[in-house]
Amino acid sequence: MKKNDEIELVCTDLSDQGFGIGHHEGMTVFADNLLPGEKARVKVIKLSKTYAIGKVVERLITSKDRIEPACAQANRCGGCALMHLKYDRQLDYKEKQLKDLFHAISPEIEVLKPLGMAVPYHYRNKAQFPVRIQNGKVEGGFYRARSNDIVPVRECMIQSEKINEIYQWLLDHLSLDQAGSLRHLLLRESKKTSQVQVVFIGEKNHNLKSLAHKLVHDHPEVASVIFNLNQRKDNVILGDQYEVLYGQDYIAEKCLDLDIQLHFKSFFQINPQQMEVLYSKALEMADLNKDDQVIELYSGTGTIGLLAARKAGYVTGVEIVPEAVANARVNQQLNGIENARFVCMDASEFAAKKENQADVVLVDPPRKGMTRQGIEDICALEPKRVVYISCNPRTLARDLKEFASRDYQCLKIQPVDMFAHTTGMECIALLVRKNPVQDDRQKESVPADNQLH
C-alpha cells in the first residue's frame, strides 16, 4: 500500500475518535465518515509504519445504522463526528470502547450502560465561536477538526436554540470594525432561568457598549454583556481583564434545586440536562452519610459539593479559579448551606496537606486528569471511597491504574452521555480501598467481644 493508492476497505469497528476501522494488507486503516458494516473505495492520504489514514471516495455498501446528519456541516466541522450514526448505536459504540479501555485495566471493573438523552439535540448551554472577516462580511463558525480553519456556521444543531438565535443576531449586527478586533464570541444560556450572557473577546473594544444595548433591546433575555480583552498570541480563549457592558459579570443559573451564580470565567457543565443525571448518580455512588467528612477537588462553582453537603457531615471544596470559588461561596449562602467551605487552591497542593482528613473524596478534574503526586496524596488521606468524575476516559483509565497501584480499586463505571453526536463521554468511577483500615468511629461502634455475652 502506498500513499494516494485507492483501496477497497471493509469497516469492522469504530475508533474512539469516530473513524471507521478496516484492515488492508495487514495494515490498520482509519477512514472518516465510514461505519462498521460499510464497504468503500478509500484513498490513502497518510501512511505510517503501523497504520494508514484514508478518505472515502465512494461508499459501496451502506450501513442500516447510517442516518442523514441533522446538520449540513457535520462532515466539515468535525465537532459532531458521529452525527451520521443513529443515536442509540452511538451509545452502543461508546459503551464498547469504554469496556475495551477499562477492562484492559481490570476485567472486574463493571462498566454500566451509558445514560443517554431522550432528545439529543440543542443540549449545549455554551458556545465559543471564532469570528473573522471573509470577503468583506462578518463570519463565525467552528474550527475544523485538528486545524485552525474556520468552517462557517450560522446554526449548530447541538447548541441551544436561543444561543443560535442570538449568535445570528450578532453576526448580522457586528460592524466590520467591531468584528475585525474580535477573536471569539462566547455565549452562555441558563435554560432554567432563561438568562443569557454574551462575551465579546478580542484585542479592542470598538463601541461595543452601544451594540450591547441594542442587543438587550432586541433580546431582553440577555442579562449580562462583557468585553474580555485578549491580546495573547496563543490558543487561550479568555484574557484576564474585562469590562462589563451591561448587567453583571455573572448570570443566574439553577442545578437541581440549587440556585447558582455563574461568572463567565467559571466552569459549568455544558449539558445542563445530563449534568443533573451526572450529579445524582455521582452522589448515589458516593453513598454519603451524616458523619462523612468530604473533600471535593476541582469544585468549580460548588455544585456537587453543595449537593453533597445536604447528605454529608462537612464538605470542603477546592478550586483554582478565584471567580469560581467566589461563586461557590455565594451559592453556599444563596442555598442556606452551612456545613461547607470553599478554598481557592491547587487541588494537589491541598491534598498534600497532612492535616486534611476525608471519609470520601470527590474529584472532577479537567480533561488532562490528575497528577501522579495528586493521586498519591489523595490515597494518603485514606478515604473509604473516591468518586472520580471525568470527561476524558483515556486520562481516567491512566489515573485508575495509579489508584490501583496504591490499593484503591475501581469497582464500577457509570458513563453519562453529556456530548451526544461527538466522540466525548463523561464517566463516573467508584473506587474503594482494598484493605480498609478500621477508623475510630467504627471501632467505637463495634462492642468488644466480652460485651457481646
Ligand X SMILES: C[S@@+](CC[C@H](N)C(=O)[O-])C[C@H]1O[C@@H](n2cnc3c(N)ncnc32)[C@H](O)[C@@H]1O
- 303 near ligand X (CB under 6 A): yes
Taking the complex as a whole, the smallest distance from the CB of residue 378 to ligand X amounts, in Å, to 13
Q: Which of 255, 391, 410, 427 is catalytic?
A: 391
Count of residues interacting with ligand X (CB under 6 A): 19
Q: Give the contact letters, 85-104, x = binds to ligand X (CB under 6 A), - = no.
A: --------------------
Nearer to ligand X, 140 or 365 (CB): 365
Cα Dmax for the chain: 91
Active site residue 391: yes
Q: Tell me if residue 377 falls in helix, strand or coil.
A: helix
Taking the complex as a whole, the smallest distance from the CB of residue 308 to ligand X amounts, in Å, to 11
Burial class for 196, CB neighbours closer than 10 Å (0-12, 13-18, 19+): buried
Nearer to ligand X, 304 or 340 (CB): 304
Residue nearest to ligand X as judged by C-beta position = 300
Nearer to ligand X, 105 or 345 (CB): 345
For Cα atoms 328, 418, 346, give the angle at the middle one, nearest 5 degrees.
Answer: 35
Nearer to ligand X, 319 or 402 (CB): 319
Number of H helices, E strands in the chain: 12, 22
Q: Are 410 and 105 in contact (CB under 8 A)?
A: yes
Cell numbers describing residue 10: 471493509
Taking the complex as a whole, the smallest distance from the CB of residue 208 to ligand X amounts, in Å, to 26
Nearer to ligand X, 63 or 301 (CB): 301
Out of 38, 95, 364, 402, which residue is the one contacting ligand X (CB under 6 A)?
A: 364
- 352 near ligand X (CB under 6 A): no
- 300 near ligand X (CB under 6 A): yes
Residue whose C-alpha is closest to residue 185's, from 173, 198, 195, 175: 198
Out of 220, 322, 366, 436, which residue is the one contacting ligand X (CB under 6 A)?
A: 366
- 272 near ligand X (CB under 6 A): no
Taking the complex as a whole, the smallest distance from the CB of residue 389 to ligand X amounts, in Å, to 7
Q: Are 141 and 150 in contact (CB under 8 A)?
A: yes
- 299 near ligand X (CB under 6 A): yes
- 267 near ligand X (CB under 6 A): yes
- 123 near ligand X (CB under 6 A): no
Residue whose C-alpha is closest to residue 413's, from 426, 401, 404: 426
**Residues 6 or more apart from 196 whose CB is under 8 A from it?**
162, 163, 166, 187, 188, 189, 190, 219, 221, 222, 223, 224, 251
Angle between helical axes of 393-404 and 87-103 (0-180°, round to 10): 30
Q: How many residues does the chain have?
A: 453
Using the contact rule CB under 6 A, the part of the chain among 158-166, 313-321, 334-342, 414-422 near ligand X is 313-321
Q: Which amino acid is at 150?
A: I
Using the contact rule CB under 6 A, the part of the chain among 73-81, 180-188, 229-237, 301-309 near ligand X is 301-309
- 298 near ligand X (CB under 6 A): yes
- 322 near ligand X (CB under 6 A): no
- 276 near ligand X (CB under 6 A): no
Nearer to ligand X, 150 or 362 (CB): 362
- 346 near ligand X (CB under 6 A): yes
Burial class for 434, CB neighbours closer than 10 Å (0-12, 13-18, 19+): exposed
Cell numbers describing residue 327: 461563586
Whole-angstrom distance, CA of residue 429 vs CA of residue 408 = 11
Annotated catalytic residues are 391
Binding site for ligand X (CB under 6 A): 267-269, 298-301, 303-304, 318-321, 324, 346-347, 364-366
